[in-house]
């Protein structure tokens, strides 16, 4: 295998791509660092000064590189081909890249690292035209109401719209009811759609003991929420952290739910590193900004892609960490087989955090469960691709009526 790193013309193209990237320049404006590259084939150094790459050379710096990115040739090939970015390449069980040196500096300047690898994926290639994008939603016109209810002594905010069969929506990590605004509007013509703010998120008050760091705590809270509203046989929909939760809820009460939709969820998700989790307390806004963009699909138009970022970066760092500690520690492989409610596992095919193999393994442990995939859609399908997402939920709800 011959890496592009051996080609001076490729390096020139890489430098051009990085230095022409406004997001790289803004992030690196006050960064002065040498970034080492180590592969099976050799080593190289990228020298960044005041927002620009000023040089690249073969070999590591004699005085030491600040950060060294280490991966086998096959992983660097995936980076160069645009198959993985910084986040996937460095995620446990999903990528093969590690880094040494000033690891804290790398995560403090994660946008720089992310955009460097993005420039590698563009180097030596013609520009790619954006789109085609997923369709724009059409509003039902039903009124969405914000309400409060006492749940276990906690003032809890939720939104609802419509009447009929209840559909309860449980949001992802670092999100709130806003995540389901297109669902509340799009399905409330036929259903009573309800979306809850988890404790410490949105307009729900903080729990007395601080952030929940185990998804079972969230699941127990959501059971009490549904009891407070007097809901009988609701359909439950969850995304990511919420997608995991609905599987646990179904296992805890096998006959209670009319149906379960786990979006971007699985019964075992050990794909976030402990170091990443701790660094959220130091640099959550930038980490989550870049991470959420990495997880967004290519059919997502710019306004909805921006909304993904805007929604996720509003979460307080300690709650972001608590959510993702719970997500990373989630393992219900031994109990999901108890679920007797109909189950739909829905994912976007651009979501690298919850790959198809992970969803298929989960499905194999839940008798009768079905998988549906939304093309060109990432980890936030109800924001990125609301029309096709709502269509899938509506079809499932009609099938379990």
Per DSSP, the residues of 234-269 read: -EEEEETHHHHHHHHHHHHSTTT-SEEEEES--SB-
Helix (H) or strand (E) holding 381: helix 381-384
Q: Cβ(112)–Cβ(28) under 8 Å? A: yes
Helix (H) or strand (E) holding 116: helix 110-122
Q: Cβ(389)–Cβ(375) under 8 Å? A: no
Q: Cβ(352)–Cβ(264) under 8 Å? A: no
The pairing of beta strand 235-239 with beta strand 259-263:
parallel
CA distance 136 to 67: 43
CA–CA distances in Å: residue 37 to residues 15, 89, 143: 14, 14, 54
CA–CA distances in Å: residue 187 to residues 163, 379, 397: 10, 20, 10
The pLDDT of residue 195: 98
For the domain spanning 145-400, the CATH number is: 3.40.50.1820
CA distance 392 to 300: 17
The pLDDT of residue 251: 98
Fold assignment, 4-122? Nonspecific Lipid-transfer Protein; Chain A (3.30.1050)
Joined tokens for residue 225: 């929420």
Give the 3-state secondary structure of residue 61: coil
Reported as a single tens digit per residue, the pLDDT across 220-278 is 999 999 999 999 999 999 999 999 999 999 999 998 999 999 999 999 999 999 999 99
Residue 190 CA, chain-centre distance (Å), reads: 29
CA distance 283 to 107: 7
The pLDDT of residue 1: 52
Question: What is the phi/psi pair of residue 372, to 5°?
Answer: -130, 140
Place of tokens 């720089």: 112
Q: From first to last of the 401 residues of the chain, give the pLDDT tens digit.
A: 578 999 999 999 999 999 999 999 999 999 999 999 999 999 999 999 999 999 999 999 877 889 999 999 999 999 999 999 999 999 999 999 999 999 999 999 999 999 999 999 999 999 989 889 999 998 877 899 999 999 999 999 999 999 999 999 999 999 999 999 999 999 999 999 999 999 999 999 999 999 999 999 999 999 999 999 999 999 999 999 999 999 999 999 998 999 999 999 999 999 999 999 999 999 999 999 999 999 999 999 999 999 999 999 999 999 999 999 999 999 999 999 999 999 999 999 999 999 999 999 999 999 999 999 999 999 999 999 999 999 999 999 999 98
CA distance 93 to 331: 15
Q: What is the 3-state secondary structure (H, E, C) of 175-231?
A: CCHHHHHHHHHHHCCCCEEEEECCCCCCCCCCCCCCCCCCHHHHHHHHHHHHHHCCC
pTM, two decimals, is 0.96
Domain borders along the chain are 4-122, 145-400
CA distance 36 to 101: 10
Give the 3-state secondary structure of residue 293: helix
């Amino acid at each position: 295998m011959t890496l592009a790193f051996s080609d001076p013309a490729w390096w020139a193209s890489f430098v051009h791509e990085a230095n022409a990237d406004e997001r790289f320049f803004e992030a690196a404006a006050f960064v002065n660092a040498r970034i080492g590259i180590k592969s099976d084939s050799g080593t190289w150094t990228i020298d960044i000064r005041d927002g620009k790459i000023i040089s690249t050379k073969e070999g590591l710096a004699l005085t030491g590189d600040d950060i060294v990115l280490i991966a086998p040739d096959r992983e660097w090939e995936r980076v160069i081909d645009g198959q993985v970015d910084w986040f996937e390449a460095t995620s446990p069980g999903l990528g093969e890249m590690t880094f040494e040196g000033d690891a804290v500096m790398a995560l403090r300047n994660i946008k720089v690292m992310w955009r460097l690898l993005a420039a590698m994926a563009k180097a030596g290639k013609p520009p790619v035209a954006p789109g085609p994008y997923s369709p724009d939603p059409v509003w039902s016109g039903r009124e969405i109401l914000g309400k409060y209810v006492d749940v276990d002594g906690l003032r809890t905010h939720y939104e609802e719209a419509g009447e009929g069969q209840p559909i309860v929506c449980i949001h992802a990590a670092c999100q709130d009811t806003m995540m389901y605004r297109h669902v509340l509007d799009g399905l409330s013509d036929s259903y009573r759609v309800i979306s809850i703010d988890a404790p410490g998120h949105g307009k729900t008050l903080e729990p007395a003991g601080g952030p929940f760091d185990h998804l079972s705590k969230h699941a127990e809270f959501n059971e009490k929420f549904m009891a407070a509203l007097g809901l009988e046989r609701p359909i439950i929909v969850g995304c990511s952290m919420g997608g995991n939760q609905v599987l646990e809820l179904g296992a805890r009460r096998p006959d209670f739910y009319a149906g379960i939709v786990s979006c971007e969820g699985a019964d075992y998700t050990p794909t976030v590193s402990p170091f990443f989790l701790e660094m959220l307390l130091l640099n959550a806004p930038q980490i989550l900004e870049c991470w959420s963009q990495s997880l967004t699909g290519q059919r997502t138009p710019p306004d909805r892609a921006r909304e993904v970022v805007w929604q996720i970066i509003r979460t307080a760092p300690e709650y972001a960490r608590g959510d993702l500690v719970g997500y990373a520690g989630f393992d219900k492989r031994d109990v999901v087989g108890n679920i007797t409610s109909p189950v739909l596992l829905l994912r976007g095919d651009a979501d690298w955090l919850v790959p198809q193999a992970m969803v298929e393994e989960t499905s194999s442990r839940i008798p009768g469960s079905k998988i549906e995939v939304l093309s060109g859609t990432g980890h936030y399908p109800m924001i990125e691709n609301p029309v096709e997402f709502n269509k899938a939920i509506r079809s499932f709800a009609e099938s379990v009526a």
